[in-house]
Amino acid sequence: MSKYYSGRRKRNLFDPHSKTPFKLSRSKIELFINCPRCFYLDRRLGVGQPPGYPFALNSAVDKLLKKEFDFYRNSQTIHPLMQVAGIEAIPFKHQGLDLWRDALHGGIQYLHPLTNLLLTGAIDDIWIGPEGELFIVDYKSTSKEEEVSIDADWQISYKRQMEIYQWLFRKNSFNVSSVGYFVYCNGITDKDKFNARIDFDIKIIPYEGNDSWVEQTILDMHKCLIGSSIPEHGADCDYCTYYKALEEVQRD
């Protein structure tokens, strides 16, 4: 883990006195929602949560899905999965797509004028309907016996992710549908042999988003960042629970 985690950093910290826009990714918005304390420690003081290990197999599925949908994007035809699901749309062809997909160097961006926060997010895909309405698309992958859904409590983060992307594209003057789609790939494990391959059941799940919460959350994030004190421990934050327990045993 030490190879990836360097402890306290000195760069990319929020300065209340700076006039330069401060960039916050979609994942940092989710961090704030989950735990304002961890968010403040990360963005204001430079002490971020230790990173998890990358899900290389999930990344491979994402990459292959993008290549596959790009094939139909280039021909401007409907993907068979979309056809089976009864979705009247085709993959959206736009010169900005590669930038919008690039989490490290781009993404879709919007400078929030009241806070000077530059909000960013990297999408997986966009589809366009016959009337020019855009559908935000997110790829997910897993492997479990039951049918995939987005109904579990912890999957609220998936829904917020979709809604932030919808909000960002609306702020960039795109006509965005409230309906987005999750392309959910479920690895099949009941085969008799591996044979050096994994087959997937793929399900397209529609979701009607509501981005009305985003604006107030941005204002709350800014209020947190300009504050001079560290917020309290997050009640449901595993990291804070660990550190709190550690402090208790060190005092004993």
What total number of domains does the chain contain?
A: 1
Tens place of pLDDT per residue across the chain (252 aa): 445 667 788 888 999 999 999 999 999 999 999 999 999 999 999 999 888 777 888 899 999 999 999 999 999 999 999 999 999 999 999 999 999 999 888 899 999 999 999 999 999 999 999 999 999 999 999 999 899 999 999 999 999 999 999 999 999 999 999 999 999 999 999 888 898 888 999 999 999 999 999 999 999 999 999 999 999 887 789 999 888 888 889 887
C-alpha 116: how far from chain center: 21
32-36: long-range contacts, CB 8 A cutoff, minimum separation 24: 32/217, 32/220, 32/221, 32/224, 33/160, 33/217, 34/234, 34/236, 34/237, 35/234, 35/236, 35/237, 35/239, 35/240, 36/224, 36/231, 36/234
Orientation angle between helical segments 36-43 and 214-226, nearest 10 degrees: 60
Which pLDDT score, from 0 to 100, does residue 5 have? 63
Length of the chain as a residue count: 252
C-alpha 83: how far from chain center: 26
Three-class DSSP category at 204? strand
Which pLDDT score, from 0 to 100, does residue 244 have? 85
Q: How is residue 225 annotated by DSSP?
A: H
Q: Is residue 129 part of a domain?
A: yes
Q: Is residue 149 part of a domain?
A: yes
Burial letters for 89-111: b for 16+ Cβ neighbours within 10 Å, e otherwise? Answer: bbbbeeeebeebbeeeeebbbbe
Q: Is residue 7 part of a domain?
A: no
Which pLDDT score, from 0 to 100, does residue 10 have? 86
For residue 95, give its domain range.
Answer: 22-245
Percent of the chain with pLDDT over 70: 98
The model's pLDDT over 28-63, given as tens digits with 9 standing for 90+, comes to 999 999 999 999 999 999 999 888 777 888 899 999
Q: Is residue 4 part of a domain?
A: no
CATH number for the domain harbouring residue 103: 3.90.320
Which pLDDT score, from 0 to 100, does residue 56 have? 83
Residue 225's closest CA among 9, 27, 44?
Answer: 44
Q: Is residue 188 part of a domain?
A: yes
Which pLDDT score, from 0 to 100, does residue 3 have? 53
Is there a contact between 89 and 82 (Cβ–Cβ < 8 Å)? Answer: yes
Q: Is residue 81 part of a domain?
A: yes
Q: Is residue 68 part of a domain?
A: yes
Which residues face 111 on adjacent strands?
118
The model's pLDDT over 207-233, given as tens digits with 9 standing for 90+, comes to 999 999 999 999 999 999 999 999 988
Q: Is residue 12 part of a domain?
A: no
**CA distances to 70, 158, 177, 222 from 73, in Å:** 5, 25, 19, 39
Which pLDDT score, from 0 to 100, does residue 4 have? 62
Which pLDDT score, from 0 to 100, does residue 2 have? 43
Q: In what order do the strands lie in the sheet with 134-142?
A: 90-91, 125-128, 134-142, 179-187, 200-208
